[in-house]
Amino acid sequence: MPKCPHCHQPFMYKQLLRISWSSRVGVECSNCQKTSFESASSKKKLTLVTIITPITIIIFRELLNLSMTVVSFIILMFLGILTLTLPLYTKLTKEEEPLW
Three-class SS state of 10: strand
Is the separation of the CB atoms in 87 and 18 below 8 Å? Answer: no
Q: What would the pLDDT profile of 9-41 be if each residue is shown by its tens digit?
A: 998 888 888 777 776 678 888 899 998 888 888
* Residues ≥6 apart with Cβ < 8 Å to 62: none
pTM beyond cutoff 0.75: no
**Amino acid in position 48:** L
Q: How far apart are CA 22 and CA 47, in angstroms?
A: 12
